[in-house]
Amino acid sequence: MTKFEIPPEHPRAESLHIREKLIENFHRKAVAEAGLIAHGRGEAFDYLLGETTTRHASDAIMTAASSLLTAERPVISVNGNTAALVPNEVVQLAEIARAKIEVNLFYRSLERELAIKELLAKAGAQELLGIGLEASAKISELGSERRHVDPRGILAADVVMVPLEDGDRTEALVNMGKKVIAIDLNPLSRTSQKATITIVDNVVRAMPRLVKAATELEGEKEVRRKILLNFDNTRNLAETITLIQQRLSSLAEKGRYLSLENESREF
Ligand code: PTJ
């Protein structure tokens, strides 16, 4: 595979680097084909958000960090895209929150699980649940391969974090009485709508912020209690959708919001 050289001055260099990471890990089998498609969908929603972590996402991040730190058996569920984009942050967050890390794939195969294991081990993960036959329990409500879970991890968890997820599993986990934290750029997705705490943000921006928030809130039990009490996911989602609406209205007034050099008005 020849690596694509991204010119540093390219206006979308950062976004292209993220794509390259996914493509590279697709060739290493960690990322599913559909993971590339999912990323494109995420990028489209990121444009609508202005490619920034909104105030509402920051509130959800503080709440998610509080929830993970307060949980008795927190688990971070990892798929191909998450392992490719934020392996270090997954491991750091798991350490601070004393959470287990479990590999759980929609397009499940042992080859992919092992490729993801390698990525996370490189990032410093000591223990990784859900690989191969270790995912010996089943979530009966689910038809997809995501139903195979580790009895020491997702099955027993009280709080599960699911970055880039499918809605049906979020729903099934919530129905099992678990609190589900989702990271999803699309506030309209089933995952976003069904999760207990929805972080509408790019996983590459949200994860470092989650690590920082968890570090700050670690010894702050009372602060965490208040954060959890004051958060309303439905209101947060409504405000996020309103923010997109207002942003689009303001851009619509301008029509062209990026100016062109040597602009000609002749057609
Ligand atoms: O690795 P696997 O086999 O578990 O498969 C993972 C994918 C992502 C392919 C699988 O879960 C899937 O098909 O997901 P969906 O239904 O396409 O949903 C993915 C969601 O993630 C969409 O709502 C996207 O908008 C969102 N998304 C994509 N990239 C990002 C993102 N959200 C946050 N950060 C991103 N970088």
Q: What is the pTM of this model?
A: 0.95
Average pLDDT value for residue range 181-202: 97
| pLDDT tens for each residue of 12-53 | 778 889 999 999 999 999 999 999 999 999 999 999 999 999
| Residues 105 and 80: beta-carbon distance below 8 Å | yes
139-153 burial code (b ≥16 CB/10 A, e <16): beebeeebbbbbebb
Which H or E element spans position 149?
strand 148-149
Ligand 1, pocket-test mutation among 164, 170, 194, most atoms within 8 A of CB:
164
Predicted local confidence at residue 10, as pLDDT: 75
Predicted local confidence at residue 8, as pLDDT: 79
Determine the residue type at 17. H
Predicted local confidence at residue 7, as pLDDT: 75
Distances (CA, A) of 198 to 157, 183, 191: 18, 6, 8
Measured in Å, residue 254 CA sits from the centre of ligand 1 at: 32
**Beta-ladder partners of 21:** none
Determine the residue type at 202. N
| Residues 166 and 146: beta-carbon distance below 8 Å | yes
Lowest mean per-residue pLDDT among 16-25, 88-97, 116-125, 252-261: 252-261
Nearest atom, ligand 1, residue 183 CA: 33
User: How far apart are the C-alpha atoms of 199 and 181, rounded to whole Å?
Assistant: 8
**Beta-ladder partners of 181:** 161, 197
Measured in Å, residue 53 CA sits from the centre of ligand 1 at: 18
Predicted local confidence at residue 260, as pLDDT: 65
Q: What are phi and psi of 106, to 5 degrees?
A: -75, -45
pLDDT at 180 over 60: yes
pLDDT at 151 over 90: yes
Q: Positive or negative CA dihedral for 173, 174, 175, 176?
A: positive
* Nearest Cα residue to atom 1 of ligand 1: 80
pLDDT at 261 over 90: no
CB-count burial class (<10 Å; 0-12, 13-18, 19+) for 114: middle
Predicted local confidence at residue 195, as pLDDT: 97
User: Which residues have a Cβ under 8 Å from the Cβ of 90 and sit 6 or more positions away?
Assistant: 76, 78, 82, 83, 101, 120, 123, 125, 207
Nearest atom, ligand 1, residue 105 CA: 4
* Nearest Cα residue to atom 4 of ligand 1: 105
Tell me which residues have their CB closer than 6 angstroms to ligand 1: 32, 34-35, 38-39, 41-42, 45, 79-81, 105-107, 164-166, 183-186, 189, 202-204
| pLDDT tens for each residue of 74-104 | 999 999 999 999 999 999 999 999 999 999 9
* Nearest Cα residue to atom 25 of ligand 1: 42
